[in-house]
Every structure is written in C-alpha cells, then in structure tokens.
DNA sequence: CGAGATATACTCCAAATGAGTATTAAATGG
DNA sequence: CCATTTAATACTCATTTGGAGTATATCTCG
C-alpha cells in the first residue's frame, strides 16, 4: 500500500544573535516555528526556503543547512490521511531583527530552554529539572539504573561533565519523564515556554546542531556584524554555547587560526579601554568551511 | 502554485566490511543504490527503511542515520511533473554479505571511487585525476586562482594535507570539470564505475559522512564481527578511511578509551603470534554514542 | 631450531589545551 | 588631575594529546 504523501512542508529554525541573546524566529505569538509548503516553482529545497524566508522577513539567509526530515508518524500529531513530509532547516541570519512591531517575532532561545543557559552558573531551574528527573529515574524497578545513568550523562550529574551539545537528549529525557508541556502537563509545572506540535523538539535539534558546529566550522561569523571586537565575538560564542569561556585562551585560539583581521579602527563605546575592531577574513571562508577551525568551548 | 509531490522515495547507502574492503549494497548490476517508495504502513521513515532492507537482504540494519533529502530539481534528472522527494539514509550492517549468487550485490566502494583509497600510497589514478583537474583549473582566465585553490585544498596538493573526509568535494570538483561519466563523458575517460542518476553522488555523501563519523563515534563496531583482533579493527578503520594508521598509536587510543574488552580467547589463524580477541563493551555504547570516542586517523 | 610474521610494550618529543597572573590603555568621576 | 574602573592585551606554566620511532615477546612453518 504505497500511499502518495502530499504537501512536503519546510520548517525553519532561523537564528540570529542580538546582544548576548541567541534568538529564533517564531510565528503565532512565539508558539511556532515558521513553516510553509514547498513551492515547487523553485529549483531546489534550499532555494525555495531561502526565497520564502527573505520574502517573509526581508533578511537574507547567510547560512542554511538541512536538519532532518520527518514523516508525520514520527511525530504523531496528524491523522494518517493527512500525513506529510516535513523537512527542517537551520538558517543563520546576520541582520539585527527589528524589535517587535508587526514583523516576525525573534525570541530568546532560552525562553524555551531556560535550563540550557549556564552562563551565570547552573540556573535554579536546572536544579528543579534534575530533581524531578531524579524522582522519575528512581521510580519503578526495571531500568532504574539505566535511567539514572542516562540522566547523569545528559545533565552532567554525579561527576560527569556538562556537555552543552546534548540539548536534544535532555529535552527527550524530560519528555519521557512527562515534564514537558507538550506532553500534556498542567501549566503550573511547565519548564520553559511550550510550542505547537513538535516545534520545540525541532528547535532543540537546531540548537544542538549549531552548538556542535561552532566548534569546528566558523559559522559564528554568519551571526556577527561585519566588524566586531574580540569580546563581542566571545560573547556571541558564549551565548550560543550557554557557557562562559576563558578569555585569554579564546583569544589565542582565534588569532592563531588567522580567521580574522584588524580593521584598523577601534570602538569607544564600552566604558573601558577601546577595543580593536576585527572583521572576518572572507578569503579563508572556503577552506575553513570544510576543515577545522575550532573554537574553544570550555568553562573559564 | 503549491504542487503536490507524490511518492517520497527512500535511497539507502548500506555499508558492510569484508576483509579490508568497504562495500556498498547495489542493485541493477552495481549501477544503482537500492531505493524504493516509502511504505506508509510503517510508523516512521526509519522503521520503513529498516523493514524494507531486512526484507530485501535478510540482514538486520545495525545503525541507520539520515543523510539528506533532495527534491528532484536539486538533481536534475526527472521532468518537473514527476518531481519526487528522495530521502537518503546511511545504514551499517554487520553480517558478511553472501558472495554473489542471486542476492544483492555488495560492491567495493573503491570501484566507484578508486582515487579515494590511499592505503597503498597515492594511487596512479589519483595522479591522473589531479592532472586533468589541473588543466581544467588553468583553463579560462576568470576564477582561475580560485579553482586552483579549491583543487589544492580538496586533493591535498601544493603543500596542503589530504583530508579523507572531502569525498563529496572531490567528486563535485570532478563533476564540474566534466570528468564524471554521469556528466556525459566518453567511456574511455571514465574514472571509476558510474552509477544511475545521481546515485554515485549520494554514495559519496555517505562515505564522507561515515569517514567523519568514525572519528568521534564508535560506529566502527557496527561493522565488525562480535569478536575481533586489534589488527582487524585497525584494518577496518583503515578500509573506511582509505588510509593506513600508525599501529602503536591506534592501540593506545583504543584501550585508553576502554571501548573494548578481552574475551580471553585468541586467534591462531594469522601465521604469526596469535592475537587476543576483543569484543565491544556494549555497556559503554549509550554514553559513547553521544560523546567523544576518537579513532586516530592519521598516516603512519 | 631458526626465520618470518605478528602481537604487544615502551620511549620520546612537539603541539595543543586548560588555567592562572600580570600589565597596559583608555574613560569617568570626584 | 588623579584615582578608580573597565576592559584589552601579554605572558607563564603544567598537563594532556598526538605523531613517530624502537624494542621485545610469542607463535607458526619449513
């Protein structure tokens, strides 16, 4: 029984960076990721999505990569007759999103995943989450040890280190434990803002992918303005990773990779000593886009 | 004009490992990758593909991951009316493929990509390829330097190091230069065995993904038999990477990661001193599946 | 038994990495 | 104008990792 699946749908995780907050473009009052049907007038999926996003936002998409393709049954929200294919993408835009005012809503990542931001230390809410998960892990006999182990691993408990890339694993553990609003929990117990259908799960996938990617591809520069200071760059990486970094080591890595060059100008905005302005060396984009270019992501 | 796209198609890059040769399952006399319509009776794409492969081959699929989703216009082989969505997967199977005899054909990767196997040094054919590419790069004025640079980078020329992960980049350079049979070249100038449509390109994507993956995930064990010697393991990694490794360093890395344990038994087959047999420690599968587990892939 | 082949163990050095500390340059406020 | 603040910049040090080379042990085969 081969059934034709109509209406392939594109779902975009569009990310921008505004003063230390990583943001995602949303629709429906922040409750959904932008999505739409694939316009077959375009020559490819990528081109179709690019055109669509630019028509919606006015911003060009600097970087675009496929995240994952779902069939509805993977997701469990539609009746079988309406089953669609959903292709999700991660897109990075440099432009500052306009503040509110009718346009698309750019929301802070961490309003959906407050437990993922460790820049100010382990947040309160992370303790609450892990407490509730610990209860869940200890509940029934079969598989208790395995649950405990998964929990320690995903959340960096009992001597294991926090790994900022495990965004999706953490979300799915919470989902499994029934801590996620989308699973039908009462609002009083919500952790983070919920989204429609499985959109928050897709966002988690995008965040995880981007956190992994900044370590070995210079994609951070797709999110930075043309000219920036080293501290701005560091703050940008920290915002994405949800961690603080060791400043001297960060600078060492950056300049020993020769990814950036001085513009000759300096800032005067910040209060202290003015910082040199740098720009990304577009000359190296192509090669570095493929080989290494590690950003140091480690606690300070 | 939102057009319904019928018949999502699944395409599989199924890989196995038999005595030092990485193999891919093919159909149509080795000219195509196995593919078929998505059976919506299954609960998800993955499950559908798993079931389909097992019915076709009798082998369970140990590991399965999505590679990429194409719309036909990305590929350019079908008339626009028949446009389909193709979802490609990378699958790893442990079983020894049965030798020929009616069943599916397991073909050596390197019959399609002979320039990708550097285990015996840079092969003759690689020189031929790079020679022809150099001519192409030097041809017309505009963009000459950029072509030359891409070439050096992709093929490790002029002081740049060979990077075994750039399988797709190399293939696309060759395609662009018109060295690929699928682009309509005369048979006398073919490099490697051609495949139908863009299947060789998809295979290149799969190889590249797997070569990248073995460096940080223990997927190699999905391809090895239950028990193996350290040299067998090394030969397996070498086969996938298309490179030879430094034996002492390989062993050091393997056992300092505690991925494997001795079975207590030894082989007697190989002529020299019998080797200890090891098995993968399934206990660590879950954690290592997510965090690091680096295999040393570097020349000896 | 010795030659060949393979397994296994150990050393050495260079580079990368994590962490800490010190110094310099400007802006600001009293 | 000087002291304080804020950040930029520079330097050191220990540890780990990674590449490469060498030595020894243990088997089979002729």
Which of A234-248, B140-154, B267-281 is predicted least confidently?
B267-281
pLDDT at A145 over 90: no
The torsion defined by the Cα of A118, A122, A126 and A132, in degrees rounded to 10, comes to: 150
Average pLDDT, rounded, for chain A: 83
Residue A95 or residue B156, greater confidence: B156
B42: pLDDT confidence band, cut at 50, 70 and 90? low
A8 contacts in chain B (CB < 8 Å): 5, 8, 71, 85
Residues 6+ apart with CB under 8 A from B130: B151, B155, B157
pLDDT of residue B108: 95
**pLDDT of A18 higher than 70:** yes
Sort strands B35-37 and B276-280 into parallel, antiparallel or unpaired. Answer: unpaired
* Predicted confidence (pLDDT) at residue B53 exceeds the cutoff of 90: no
- Residue A233: predicted pLDDT: 92
CB contact under 8 A, A40 and B69: no
A149 contact residues in B (CB cutoff 8 A):
286-287
Q: What is the pLDDT of residue A102?
A: 62
Mean pLDDT throughout A256-265? 85
A interface mutation test: which of B71, B217, B282, B291 has the most A CBs within 10 A? B71
Q: Which ranges of A185-229 would DSSP assign to H, the alpha helix? A: 199-213
Q: Is A121 helix (H, G, I), strand (E, B) or coil?
A: strand
- Distance from residue B116's CA to nucleotide D17's C1', rounded to whole Å: 28
B163 touches strand C (CB under 7 A): no
Q: Which residue of B8, B162, B209 is the best one to mutate when testing the A interface, meaning the one whose CB has the most A CBs within 10 A?
A: B8
Query: Residue B70 and residue A291: Cβ atoms within 8 Å?
Result: no
Which pLDDT score, from 0 to 100, does residue A290 have?
43
Q: Please tell me which residue of chain A has the smallest CA distance to B65.
A: A68
Contact between A74 and B44 using a beta-carbon 8 Å cutoff: yes
Distance in angstroms (rounded) separating the CA atoms of residues A52 and A36? 8
Beta-bridge partner residues of B68: B88
Residue scoring higher pLDDT (B291 or B189): B189
A149 has a pLDDT exceeding 70: yes
CB B275 within 8 A of CB B196: no
Give the integer Cα–Cα distance in Å for B114 and A133.
51
* Closest chain A C-alpha to B44 CA, distance in angstroms: 5
Phi, psi of A166 (to 5 degrees): -85, 35
Instruction: Compute the Cα dihedral for A167, A170, A176, A177 and give only its sign.
Output: negative
* Percentage of chain B lying above the pLDDT 90 cut: 43
3-state secondary structure B213-255: HCCCCCHHHHCCCCEECHHHHHHHHHHHHCCCCCHHHHHHHHH
Sign of CA dihedral B90, B96, B99, B104: negative
Bridge-based pairing state of the strands B9-18 and A9-18: unpaired
> B1 pLDDT band (50/70/90 cuts)?
very low
Closest CA to A94 of A238, A227, A185: A227
Phi, psi angle pair for B178, to nearest 5°? 80, 25
Chain centroid to CA B94: 15
Q: Please determine, for residue B287, whether its predicted confidence score (pLDDT) is greater than 70.
A: no
Query: Is residue B173 pLDDT above 90, yes or no?
Result: yes
- Sequence-distant (6+) residues with CB within 8 A of B277 are B227, B228, B229, B262, B263, B264, B265, B266, B267
Rounded to an integer, the average pLDDT of B110-126 is: 95
| Among A245-254, B42-51, B86-95, B172-181, the least confident range | B42-51
pLDDT tens digit sequence for B186-211: 766 789 999 998 999 999 999 999 99
Tell me the two tokens of residue A114: 């407050």
Q: Which residue has the higher pLDDT, B7 or B50?
A: B50
pLDDT at A87 over 80: yes
| Sequence-distant (≥ 6) Cβ neighbours of residue A135 within 8 angstroms | none
Q: Is the pLDDT of residue B103 over 60?
A: yes
Q: What is the pLDDT of residue A1?
A: 37
- Residues A186-222 have pLDDT tens digits of 766 789 999 998 999 999 999 999 998 888 888 899 9
Residues 207-226, chain B: which have Cβ under 7 A from strand D? none
Q: Residue B2 pLDDT more than 70?
A: no
Average pLDDT, chain B: 83
Query: Going along chain B, which residue ranges are E strands?
Result: 9-18, 21-26, 35-37, 63-71, 85-92, 105-108, 227-228, 260-266, 276-280
| A78 pLDDT more than 70 | no
Q: B43: which chain A residues are within 8 Å (Cβ-Cβ)?
A: 73-74
Nearest nucleotide (CA of B255 to C1'): C8
Across the range A70-77, mean pLDDT stands at 60
In this prediction, residues B222-234 reach a mean pLDDT of 91
What is the CA angle B32-B80-A62, rounded to 5? Answer: 90
Question: What is the model's pLDDT at position B62?
Answer: 87
Which of the listed ranges A32-46, A277-291, B117-131 does the model predict with the highest average pLDDT? B117-131
Tokens 């019915």, located at residue: B55
Question: What's residue A257's pLDDT?
Answer: 82
Between the CA of B249 and the C1' of C12, what is the distance in angstroms? 14
């Amino acid at each position: 029984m081969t059934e034709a699946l109509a209406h392939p749908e594109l779902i975009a995780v569009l990310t921008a960076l505004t003063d230390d907050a990583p943001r995602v473009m949303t629709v429906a009052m922040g409750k959904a990721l932008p999505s739409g049907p694939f316009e077959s007038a375009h020559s490819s999926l990528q081109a179709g999505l690019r055109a669509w996003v630019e028509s919606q936002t006015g911003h060009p998409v600097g970087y675009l990569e496929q995240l994952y393709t779902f069939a509805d049954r993977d997701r469990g929200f539609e009746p079988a007759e309406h089953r669609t294919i959903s292709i999700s993408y991660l897109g990075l835009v440099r432009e500052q999103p306009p503040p509110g005012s009718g346009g698309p809503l750019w929301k802070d990542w961490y309003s959906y995943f407050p437990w993922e931001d460790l820049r100010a230390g382990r947040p309160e809410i992370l303790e609450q989450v892990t407490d509730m998960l610990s209860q869940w892990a200890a509940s029934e006999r079969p598989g208790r040890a395995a649950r405990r182990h998964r929990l320690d691993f995903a959340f960096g408990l009992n001597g294991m280190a926090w790994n900022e890339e495990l965004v999706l694993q953490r979300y799915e553990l919470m989902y499994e434990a029934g801590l996620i609003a989308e699973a039908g929990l009462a609002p009083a117990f919500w952790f983070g803002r919920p989204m429609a259908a499985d959109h928050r799960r897709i966002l988690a996938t995008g965040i995880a992918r981007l956190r992994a990617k900044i370590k070995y591809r210079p994609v951070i520069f797709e999110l930075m303005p043309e000219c920036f200071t080293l501290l701005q760059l560091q703050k940008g990486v920290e915002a994405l990773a949800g961690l603080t970094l060791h400043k001297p080591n960060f600078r060492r890595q950056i300049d020993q990779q020769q990814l950036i060059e001085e513009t000759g100008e300096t800032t005067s905005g910040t209060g202290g000593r003015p910082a040199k302005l740098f720009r990304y060396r577009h000359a190296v984009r192509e090669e570095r886009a493929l080989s290494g270019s590690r950003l140091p992501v480690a606690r300070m």
